[in-house]
Structure 1
Amino acid sequence: MALPGLDISDSIDTAASLEREIKPFQEFRFEVAPTNTVTIKIKTESPGTAELFGTELSRGTPYTFTGCKSAIYSWTGCTLIIEGSPSVEYIAEETPMSTYLNLHIALEKLRFAASDCPPTADGAQGPRILLIGPPDVGKTTLCKILTGYSIRQGRKPMVINLDNGGEGILSVPGTISAASFGSVMDVEDGFGNSPMSAPSAIPVKLPLVYYSGLETPESGAARYKKLVTRMSVAVNSRLEEDIESKNTGLIIDTPSFENQANGDLISYIVAEFSVTAIAVLGSERLYNTMLKSFATSPGVTVVKLPTSGGCVDRDPPFKKACRDAAVKKYFFGDEKCTLSPYTVTVEFDSPTFALWEVVDSTIADAKTNLSFLPIGEDESSLQLEEVKRLSPGDIDSRFENLIVAVLQVDAKDAGAKEVGESAVLGFLYVQEVDEKARRMKVLSPVPGRVPAKALLVGKWPEGMFLT
C-alpha cells in the first residue's frame, strides 16, 4: 500500500527478484557496481547446471557478487534467480566457450601423455601455457576457466600471475604470485583466499608472492625480470617435489602486451618458465608477431583465441575501486569473513627498522630526478637503482595510505640486492606518519610488533582510504 503523501510503497526495501532462463550454450552476463550487491542462484527445480568461469554452481545455493563484471554459462540450460539490480544484465548466444573447451581438451591430452611418463623423465612435464593480449580481452577470465576445468578433471595446476598492475591473484595489487590449485575455486571470489586470521569455506591457497610496487613491468624492467627469474626457480623447485602439479603444468597470466616493444619481455618469460604454448587473445598483430618470433622454436606452439563479446573496457575509476576493495579485504575481510586489523606504532629510530622504496626506472622519472644526483653521476646510474633505503628524514606524509610489504630478509643484514628480490611475508597499511615524533602508525593483520624484517614501499597501488 502507498504511504500517505508519497508515491512509494512501504516495501521499498525488498530486493527485486527476477528469473532468467538460459538455454543450452547461452551465457548470462551481468555487471555489478562496487557499491551494489546482487545475489544469484540456480533455481532448485531447474534440471540443468551452470558455471562461472569454469567453476560449477551448486543448485539452490545463493552466490553474492559486488563490484564485478561477470558471466554464468550453461552447457545444458537452466533457470537463474537474481535478487538485486545489476547495472547491466543480458543473455548472450555467441560465446567462445566451445573454443576454450577445445583448448582445455588439447591441454588434457598433453597431461595424459605426461602422466604416462616416468617421474624422472623430461616428458613428465605437463603443458605450460602463457596467456597474452591487450588490456581487457579476458586473459584472467580464461586463466580462471582453464584452472577450473583442470581442477574438475582431478588435476593440480600451478597458476602464476605476472600482472603486477592488476588486482592480484591471492594477494594485493602490485604483486606477482604463484600457487598450486588442488581444490575447488570460490565462485564469488574467483581464485579464492590466501591464509587470513579467520576460517574460510573454501580451502585457502598458499601463494608465493613477490612485491613489484610498480604499475607496469616497463617502469622497472630490470627488477621485474629478476623477480620473474626468482619466481621461475621457486616454481620449478616445487614441481620437482610435486609430480602431480608437474604433470598438470603451468597456467600463466600476464600484463597487457600489445606492441612490438613487449616482445623482449615475452621472450624472457617464455625462456624462464619453459613455456610450451602461447595463447594470444584479442590482437591479430600480436599473434602474427609471436608466430614470427617463435617460428624457429619447435617446442613452442602459438595459438589465436577469440575474445568474448562480454569483455568490456573497464574505466579507471572502476579499476581503482576494485584495487581498493582487494586491499581492504586483506585487512578488514568481507561480509562473509570480517577481520579486525591491529594498529601498531613503528619507530623510525628503532634498530630493527629499515624502510626501502621502489625506484621507477623509466626515462621520464630519471630526468625528473637528475638534479638530485651526486657530482660525477649521470642518468644511467639512476636507472640502475631499483630500490633505495630511506633515512628517517626522508619519511613523510607522502607515504600515508600506502601499503608496505614485509619481506623475508632481516632488516639489519638486508642490502639492495636482497631487498629487491625477496619474497613477501605480508603487508602493512600506513595510516599516519608523524615526522616530528619520527614514527608512523600502521595497520597489521596480526597482533604484536612488526617483525624485524626489511620493509618495502612502492608506487603501486596508489594511495587509498580504507578507514
Structure 2
Amino acid sequence: MALPGLDVTDSIDSSTILTRDLKPNQEFRFEVPATSSITIRLTAGTAGTAELFGTELSKGLPYTFTCCKSAIYTWTGCSLSIEGAPSVEYIAEETPMATYLNLHIALEKLRVAASDCPPTTEGAQGPRILLIGPPDVGKTTVAKILTGYSIRQGRKPMVINLDTAGEGVLTVPGTISAASFGSVMDVEDGFGSSPMSAPSAIPVKLPLVYYYGFETAESGSRRYKRLISRMAVAVNSRLEEDIESKNTGLIIDTPSFDNQTNGDVISHIVAEFSITTIAILGSERLYNTMLKSFPPSSSSPINVIKLPTSGGCVDRDAPYKKSIRDAAVKKYFFGDAKCTLSPYTVSIEFDSPTFSLWEVVDSLSSSAERQKNISFLPIGEDESSLSADEEVVKRLAPGDVDSRFENMVVAVLQVDAKDAGAKEVGESAVMGFLFVQEVDEKERRMKVLSPVPGRVPAKALLVGRWPEGMFLT
C-alpha cells in the first residue's frame, strides 16, 4: 500500500500520454506555450535513436519542455512517448538535416587537416563559420546542430553568440558571449543556462560575457563593433592556449541581418574573427550580396554558402519572444523546476564612495551629444579632440538615478569602481548581474536582487536599454 502523495505512478494519467512512431529521417515537431509543459521520452526497449538539434536523447529518460518550439529528429526511426498536450505537434517527412550533416562533414574534414598541422602554424586553425540571415530562419538551430555534432565527434568548438535580442547563451539577454563546448549539451536547455553553484547534471561552462544593452546592432552600432573587436581579441588569445578548440574552430550565431543596413557590421565580424565560411539562411538576396562582398578567388579564404531553412521554422511574435527573455532572466536569479535558487536582496547607497553607475548611449543620442560637444570646443580644436569612449557609455550622477531603472537588469563589470573611466567601462567584460527592484530617490538608494550574499562588489555597474523592464515574481 503506497502512502498518499508518494506513489508517483498513480499521478500519471495514461490518457494524456501520446505515442508517436517515427520512420527513418522523420522529425517530430512540437510547440509548447509558457503556461504549460510536456515530458517526452525516447521509448526504452525499442530500436532506434533520436536527437534534438544535434544532441542525442537517452532511452527512457524524461525530458521536460516549456515555452519552446522544437523538433526531435531520427536517422533510424524511433518511438516517442509524450506526456502532456503540446499546442502544436506533427511528424514531418521533409527536413534539411541531410544538408546540415553534409556541412558538418565538410567542417570536420577541415578540422582533421588543422589537427595534422603543428600547433603554432596558421594551418592549425580550424574552420570558422558565421551564420547569418533574417529573423526566424533557424540560425540558432543550425548553430546548435553543428555544435552538437562537433561534440559527438570528440571536438571542442568555441561557440559565439552575437544575438543580443535573443534569450542569451549561458547568460541573460542583451549580451554577447563566447564559450568553449567540450561536453554534451543539455537536451532541454540547448546551449545551457548561466553557471551556478548548485549541482548540475551537465558540466558547467564558463562563458566570456559582454553587456551590450540594446536590442539591435544598429541602436548602438559603435559600441556593438567595439565589443565584437574586444571579444575577438579575447577569443583568439584563448585559442592560442587551447589547441583542441583552435583545431575545432568557431561557430558564430548572429542577430537578424538584412540586405540594407548591416553590411558594415557583417564585414566587421568577418574581419575581426577571420571567418572562413559564411552560411546564409532564408534570404536569396542576402546570399547574392555576400557573394559580391566576398567573391570566390584563390586569394580569398572565405566560402559563401546557402543553407535551406527548415519547414519547422515559424514566426515568433513579440509576446512569445518577451516570454523567452523574461524566463531567461528569471532563471538566472530564481533557477527553474529542476534547481530552485534563492536570490538575495541588497541595498546600494548612491552616496557610497564605491557607487559607480553607468548607462549605455544609443547611436542617435551619441551623435547628438557629439555635435553639442563639438560646438563647445575651444578655437583651433576639432572633433578628433573628443573621446570616442564617451560616446558609448556615460556615468550617471546620483541625482540621475530614478524609477525608470526599476525592473531593469544591471551588469556588474570586472573593472573596479575607483578605476572606472569611459574606456574601461565601455570595454569591460561582465562579472555577473543584478536586478533592480526599487529605486528610492528620497533615501538615495536602490534595492536589487543579487545571486550571491553580501555587499555588491565595488565594481562599476552598467545599465542598458535592453532587455526592457520586466517583473520577476
Q: TM-score, normalised by structure 1?
A: 0.94
Asked if 2 retains the 8 angstrom alpha-carbon contact of 1:218 and 1:362, the reply is no
After superposition, give the CA deviation of every residue in 1:265-294 in whole Å (9 maximum; x if it has no partner).
111100100000000000000000000100
Gap change, CA 1:452 and 1:15, over 3 Å in 2 = farther
Secondary structure of the 1:261 match is coil
Asked if 2 retains the 8 angstrom alpha-carbon contact of 1:197 and 1:445, the reply is no
Secondary structure of the 1:350 match is coil
Secondary structure of the 2:120 match is coil
Q: Residue in 2 aligned with 1:376? A: 375
Secondary structure of the 2:40 match is strand
After superposition, give the CA deviation of every residue in 1:222-262 in whole Å (9 maximum; x if it has no partner).
11111001100000000000001000000000111111321
Q: Residue in 1 aligned with 2:425? A: 419
Q: How does 1:214-229 map to 2 (within 5 A)?
A: 214-229=214-229
Q: Residue in 2 aligned with 1:284? A: 284
Q: Residue in 2 aligned with 1:353? A: 355
Q: Residue in 2 aligned with 1:313? A: 315
Gap change, CA 1:374 and 1:303, over 3 Å in 2 = closer
Provide runs of 4+ in structure 1 moved above 4 Å: 11-15, 372-375, 380-384
Gap runs ≥5 in structure 2: 1-10, 378-382
Q: Residue in 1 aligned with 2:180? A: 180
Matched, 1:400 2:398: no
Asked if 1 retains the 8 angstrom alpha-carbon contact of 2:412 and 2:434, the reply is yes
Q: Residue in 2 aligned with 1:94? A: 94
Tell me the amino acid that sits aligned with residue 231 of structure 2. Answer: M
Matched-pair identity in %: 79
Deviation, 1:362, is 2.9
Gap change, CA 1:60 and 1:437, over 3 Å in 2 = same
Asked if 1 retains the 8 angstrom alpha-carbon contact of 2:170 and 2:195, the reply is no
Deviation, 1:164, is 1.3
Deviation, 1:104, is 0.1
Q: Residue in 2 aligned with 1:8? A: none
| The 10-residue stretch of structure 1 (409-418 or 170-179) with the greater mean CA deviation from structure 2 | 409-418
Secondary structure of the 1:185 match is coil
Deviation, 1:45, is 2.5
Deviation, 1:166, is 1.3
Q: How does 1:174-213 map to 2 (within 5 A)?
A: 174-213=174-213
Q: Residue in 2 aligned with 1:71? A: 71
Supply the distance in 2 between the matched residues of 1:184 and 1:12 (Cα, whole angstroms): 30
Asked if 2 retains the 8 angstrom alpha-carbon contact of 1:361 and 1:382, the reply is no
Q: Residue in 2 aligned with 1:61? A: 61
Secondary structure of the 1:36 match is strand
Asked if 2 retains the 8 angstrom alpha-carbon contact of 1:15 and 1:83, the reply is no
Gap change, CA 1:391 and 1:83, over 3 Å in 2 = same
Secondary structure of the 1:66 match is strand
Deviation, 1:142, is 0.3
Deviation, 1:390, is 0.5
Q: 1:303 aligns with which of 293, 302, 305?
A: 305
Q: How does 1:122-271 map to 2 (within 5 A)?
A: 122-271=122-271
Aligned positions, number: 454
Asked if 2 retains the 8 angstrom alpha-carbon contact of 1:366 and 1:382, the reply is no
Gap runs ≥5 in structure 1: 1-10
Q: 1:327 aligns with which of 326, 329, 334?
A: 329
Tell me the amino acid that sits aligned with residue 63 of structure 2. Answer: Y
Supply the distance in 2 between the matched residues of 1:14 and 1:342 (Cα, whole angstroms): 41
Supply the distance in 2 between the matched residues of 1:105 and 1:316 (Cα, whole angstroms): 36
Gap change, CA 1:377 and 1:459, over 3 Å in 2 = farther
Supply the distance in 2 between the matched residues of 1:390 and 1:141 (Cα, whole angstroms): 39
After superposition, give the CA deviation of every residue in 1:187-208 in whole Å (9 maximum; x if it has no partner).
0000113321311110010000
Secondary structure of the 1:303 match is strand
Matched, 1:466 2:472: yes
Q: Residue in 2 aligned with 1:6? A: none
Q: Residue in 1 aligned with 2:3? A: none
Tell me the amino acid that sits aligned with residue 320 of structure 1. Answer: K
Tell me the amino acid that sits aligned with residue 59 of structure 2. Answer: R
Supply the distance in 2 between the matched residues of 1:150 and 1:47 (Cα, whole angstroms): 24
Deviation, 1:120, is 1.3
Q: TM-score, normalised by structure 2?
A: 0.93
Secondary structure of the 1:24 match is coil
